[in-house]
Homo-oligomer: A and B are copies of this chain.
Amino acid sequence: MQLDLTTDAAALTEQLVNIESVSLHEQEIADAVEEALRALGHLEVTRVGNNLVARTDLGRGERVVIAGHLDTVPLNDNLPARRDGDLLHGLGTCDMKGGDAVMLRIAATVAEPNRDLTFIFYDAEEIAAEHNGLGRLAASHPEMLAADFAILMEPSNAGIEAGCQGTLRVEVRTTGERAHTARAWQGANAIHRAGEVLRRLEAYEPRRPVIDGLEYHEGLNAVFVSGGVAGNVVPDACVVEVNYRFAPDRSEAEAEAWVREFFDGYDVTLTDSAPGALPGLDRPAAKAFLDAVGGRPAPKFGWTDVARFSALGVPAVNFGPGDPLLAHKQEEHVPVEHIERCEAVLTRWLTA
């Protein structure tokens, strides 16, 4: 399928949505995007697997990365795209082919931007982190991500969501001693001992630090609990799996140390960890972008790929069409007005 970059961004979104691209099946959409980018002539296009990097090289004083993933979560009886007034419905409309369409429109229409641009279209964002195309590019070609500022076009209601919170998981274990429940005093109940773990979680008061004017909001939640041997046995083990979402003023190591202190006296095992990203709104490129978008930026509570740029020292924000709460839902949709607004803001900022 051939993409028509001369059409408006909403129609282009519809074209992209109608190319199925569930994670690990991005070849067709990557082919179409590659062909469209190469046809423009003014971009240096590199393909690595199903990832595409397209750059201007105008010798500007700043370089900005604009990035979006090409994959979607699995189909849920929500293709092809369907237009209903101002709304475009269908898998990937919100997360995030509306953003991809804006990127392609900017690539096509802003041939001489006032900042050098690096467009990155990547694969496998919706599945396990090891597959993430942006992560793999960062590992194999870190120079391709180098920039003064990065915009990730994930849905953010066409406003700026800055930074992101980190996330880690721990298993908190209690142990006991098995016994027949008819002679329970001969054992020790590990599930009962987990009561204090849950009590601490219930009493937890989230930290809400303000960073660059944005109020983050931490969270500490049991996401799984399991224990038990048989219906007549005092259980000797219980595991509470806890997810800590931490504001970006804490490093992963600080976050882990805090959780271990919180569960002092218990056996705590770290099973998963990803750093947050500071908003970095004090950087010149970020400030100028804030001015161009207008309004108040919001903090990003969930973890996103902006953290990959942050880890490379590149301040990054989320800025894309669509409501993030609709992502991964059967009824996913995007307002056309969001798509148009994002395109207009970027065009204005890059041509001022």
Where chain A touches its partner, the secondary structure class is: mixed
A225 contacts partner chain B, Cβ-Cβ < 8 Å: yes
| Residues of B close to A167: CB separation below 8 A | 181-182, 232
As a 0/1 sequence over residues 178 to 194 of chain A, the CB contacts with chain B under 8 angstroms (1 = contact) are: 00111111000101111
Contact A181 B224 (CB under 8 A): no
| Residues of B close to A220: CB separation below 8 A | 184
B-contacting 9-mer, from A37-45, A75-83, A142-150, A236-244:
A236-244
Q: Quick one: given A183-B302, A198-B194, A245-B184, are A226 and B226 in contact (CB under 8 Å)?
A: yes
The residue from B180, B196, B221 contacting A189, defined by CB atoms under 8 A apart? B221
A225-263 at interface with B (beta carbon < 8 Å): 225-235, 238, 240-241, 243, 245
As a 0/1 sequence over residues 157 to 185 of chain A, the CB contacts with chain B under 8 angstroms (1 = contact) are: 00000000101010000000000111111
A11 contacts partner chain B, Cβ-Cβ < 8 Å: no
In whole Å, how far is A279's beta carbon from the nearest beta carbon of chain B?
Answer: 16
- Interface bracket on A: 35 or more
Contact A230 B223 (CB under 8 A): yes
Contact B199 A199 (CB under 8 A): yes
| Residues of B close to A230: CB separation below 8 A | 223
A309 contacts partner chain B, Cβ-Cβ < 8 Å: no
Contact B182 A222 (CB under 8 A): no
| Residues of B close to A226: CB separation below 8 A | 225-226, 228
